[in-house]
């Protein structure tokens, strides 16, 4: 479950009238359940309750691997880390549990160098509650999908790992610079 903890932004997929409904939201893992909340106006809220089935995908690092990085002759490939989860959804309606889940999520997501702590007693939380829908997903099945050149020699596997680390750092920087300018 390391992928979920390190890459909590999930793709939540449900079906309504034979059409997929997809939402991207952070989820946290607590006691083998996923906890999340979203804007009450999100059309997905109606599907995130009543024991409806849901599929959730967590995406870890990923990148193209050039054959030129290997010590042996190889073909191009794409390495990635994914986790697919199936579960049933229950709406959380107790305001105290909703507030606590928001505090827990903020505590989990806040990086160590930042000092923000969401206060359970913050009066803004009460004002915010009507605009948020909270839910939990009971996990019924999960599967890790890891393609990391693990079928290669130790040397080539380590080269692919190094490339994946390097590419992800460079790609994020380049991408953000491109879309923000």
Whichever domain contains 173, its CATH number is 2.30.110.10
Query: Given the structure tokens 């449900």, which residue do they identify?
Result: 14
- Structural domain count, the chain: 1
Nearest of 124, 136, 48 to residue 94 by alpha carbon? 136
Q: Which residue segment(s) compose the domain that 154 sits in?
A: 1-180
Q: Which residues contact 110 (CB under 8 A, 6 or more apart)?
A: 116, 117
Q: Which two tokens stand for residue 93?
A: 């309606």
pLDDT at 114: 87
In order along its 181 residues, the chain shows pLDDT tens digits of 789 999 999 999 999 999 999 999 999 999 999 999 999 999 999 998 899 999 999 999 999 999 999 999 999 999 999 999 999 999 999 999 999 999 999 999 998 888 888 888 999 888 999 999 999 999 999 999 999 999 999 999 999 999 988 887 777 788 888 888 7
For residue 23, what are the CA distances in angstroms to 27, 48, 55, 139, 145?
11, 11, 11, 18, 21
Alpha helices of the chain — where are they, by DSSP H? 2-6, 95-109, 123-128, 154-180
Q: Which two tokens stand for residue 14?
A: 């449900």
pLDDT at 96: 94
Nearest of 70, 79, 66, 73 to residue 150 by alpha carbon? 79
């Amino acid at each position: 479950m390391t992928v979920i903890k390190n890459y909590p932004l999930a793709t939540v997929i449900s079906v309504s009238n034979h059409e997929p409904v997809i939402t991207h939201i952070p989820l946290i893992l607590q006691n083998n359940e996923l906890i999340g909340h979203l804007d009450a106006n999100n059309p997905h809220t109606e599907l995130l309750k009543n024991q409806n089935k849901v599929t959730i995908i967590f995406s870890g690092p990923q990148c193209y691997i050039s054959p030129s990085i290997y010590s042996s002759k190889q073909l191009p490939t794409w390495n990635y880390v994914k986790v697919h989860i199936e579960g049933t959804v229950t709406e959380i309606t107790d305001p105290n549990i909703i507030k606590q889940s928001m505090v827990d999520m903020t505590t989990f997501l806040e990086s160590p160098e930042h000092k923000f702590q969401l206060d359970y007693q913050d009066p803004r939380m009460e004002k915010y509650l009507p605009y948020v829908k909270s839910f939990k997903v009971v996990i019924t099945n999960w599967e890790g999908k890891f393609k990391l050149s693990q079928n290669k020699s130790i040397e080539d596997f380590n080269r692919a790992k190094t490339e994946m680390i390097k590419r992800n750092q460079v790609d994020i920087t380049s991408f953000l610079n491109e879309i923000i300018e």
